[in-house]
Amino acid sequence: MESADKVKTERWIVYYDSFEEMFQYFCDNTTIHGTIRLNCSKRNKMKTTFWLVIFLLSIAIMYWQFGIMINHYWAYPISTAISLQSKGNTFPAVTICNLNPYRFDEVNTYVNQLDKMAQETLYSVYKYDGPKARNQVIHLQDFLPNVTHQFNGSFQLDQSIVLLKLQENGSGPALPGVKKFQLGFKMCNSSGGDCYYKSYWSGVDALHEWYKYHYINIMSKIPPVLNTAGEELAKNFIFTCDFIDKPCIEREYDYFHHPIYGSCFTVNPQRKENVLYSPRPGKKYGLSLKVKVDQNDNMPLLSSAAGARIMIHNPNQPPLVEHDGFDIRPGTETSIGIKQDEVKHLGGKYGQCASDGNDLGFKLLYSTSYTLQACLNSCFQYKMIEMCGCGYYFYPLPPDTEYCNYNKYPGWGHCFYRLHEKMLDHRHHCFTQCPMQCTETRYQLSAGTAQWPSPTSKTWVIPVLNWHKGYNTTSKRSDVSKINIYYEEVSYQSVEETPAMPVTLLLSNMGGQWSWWFGSSVLSVVEIAELVLDTVAMVILITYRWKKKKRAPQ
């Protein structure tokens, strides 16, 4: 009885008497094509060798292709699906500025000193007696009765930072009497040990940048983007504003003052109610503006352009007109057609993108949705405060920080321009910290212009506009502009990224290759797995028997 159990156990453990028997059984019964030839032709060594080479070569090529497909999968490629959405669109936000910065009474004394220094600079460099700047002052308290700003009366204009004639390579002061030179100014760190020249080939650009640098220091105590409390500033700029033949006053819009671009307002800003909606394409179903674009700039050295600055953007995005805006000519009617695209990027392993900016490692300084430019500005401001001790005037401030001025931070200009050059060259770390938006709205713009008012109609159009607003001005076509903004088509393109190689497609491709090279299926893979397990079991049993036989007494 004991002997019978032992035989039974051995039969249960031992599948085959030999490896030859095991492989013969596999080749005779497997569903993989070609393997039976290894058995049928075993009496003909040439055929056996031929089929063995073909079999092994097929395996090698198949797994080589498997490797290519898996590498392609791990690269996480994407494909783009474009669909056309046919429905009415929410109208974009439109921000428009008059390119006419103001002189505020808190800083007017220092701006006048800067104007005088600029006139002296023009004369010393070009022997030109520059035009006298207008001494027009805007009183903040007229528009912001509940907000006060304290300005340090001990501010002193740094007259050591002057425009100089520089060598052609901008490395240092030019020799007297040279005819070919660059123009620039010298920037040093707080200790004065590290200096370099900020140089320009264009004297206009050099003068503008030099003037703006001093102006930033003067304005450091006044908010750069000033939200106004009423319509007083805008009524001197906007003649009429209509959306689908209804006045904009019935809609929601915001006013603010920008230190470079002057009086600005945004139609259709971020709101939960009263969102502007365009049901059809065409001018009649869009926004129409008539604006006053005086060429008598209050600060001609700071803003040398005449006309208007306009930006068309998503209502949830900040109006960064210095980055994304474009200019409108005075004396023209400009029609701007809009085509909208909705773009959705895949995040995670398929590429970096951000939906809300909560995982950036720092807090966005703008109270709007995430945008790449808002992230870059915020990142740069944090780095500016870290490296220079103060913030750049044109970007919002984090809590408990202040804007730079060279009375309190003597070397901030040197620090800023060094950082800014890295940003311009895309060498700053902010470009790696700020990914693209996961979902963004893009507006494709096409514009056309015509003379407005025409020579025959200007005699009545401009007086009517002036009388309507209660103005008493001369009738100059160059002082007004008309702007039409509308959708060219109501439908919009939705561009969505999808995985180009999902797991299902990878398995399907691998199955296709397996079927192509062996004409088999998933069950054939199980058969090979069974063969591998049987081989391992046979090796273990043979090893066990060999050791047992070796230990047995002779």
Residue 420 has pLDDT above 50, yes or no: yes
Domain 346-437: state its class: mainly alpha
Q: Average the pLDDT over each of 56-60, 175-179, 538-542 and give the range with the smallest value.
A: 175-179
* C-alpha torsion 340→372→264→238, nearest 10: 0
Q: What is the pLDDT of residues 184-225, one digit of tens each?
A: 888 888 887 888 888 888 888 888 899 999 999 998 888 777
Higher local confidence (pLDDT), 174 or 437: 437
Q: What pLDDT is recorded for position 302?
A: 83
- Output the CA–CA distances (angstroms, integers) from residue 554 to 400, 544, 549, in the order listed: 93, 18, 9
For CA atoms 469, 473, 476, 480, give the dihedral sign.
negative
Q: Average the pLDDT over each of 163-172, 300-309, 473-482 and give the range with the smallest value.
A: 473-482
Residue 46 has pLDDT above 70, yes or no: yes
Q: What is the pLDDT of residues 107-124, one digit of tens each?
A: 888 888 888 888 888 888
- H-helix segments, 389-489: 412-424, 430-433, 458-469
Q: How confident is the model at residue 496 (pLDDT cuts 50, 70, 90)?
A: confident
Pairing of strands 332-344, 492-499: parallel
Residue 282 CA to residue 376 CA, distance in Å, equals 36
Of 489, 473, 477, which Cα lies nearest the Cα of 450? 477
Residue 278 CA to residue 515 CA, distance in Å, equals 55
Of 96, 93, 443, 441, which Cα lies nearest the Cα of 276? 93
Tell me the domain boundaries of the chain: 82-102+223-344+448-486, 104-137+150-221, 346-437
Q: Same fold for the domain at 82-102+223-344+448-486 and the one at 346-437?
A: no
Of 145, 455, 490, 188, which Cα lies nearest the Cα of 339? 490
Amino acid 547 reads K
The answer to whether 478 and 295 have CB atoms below 8 angstroms apart is yes
Mean pLDDT across the stretch 475-486? 79
What superfamily would CATH give domain 82-102+223-344+448-486? Answer: Acid-sensing ion channels like domains (2.60.470.10)
Q: How confident is the model at residue 230 (pLDDT cuts 50, 70, 90)?
A: very low
What are the backbone angles phi and psi of residue 151, rounded to the nearest 5°?
A: -110, 135
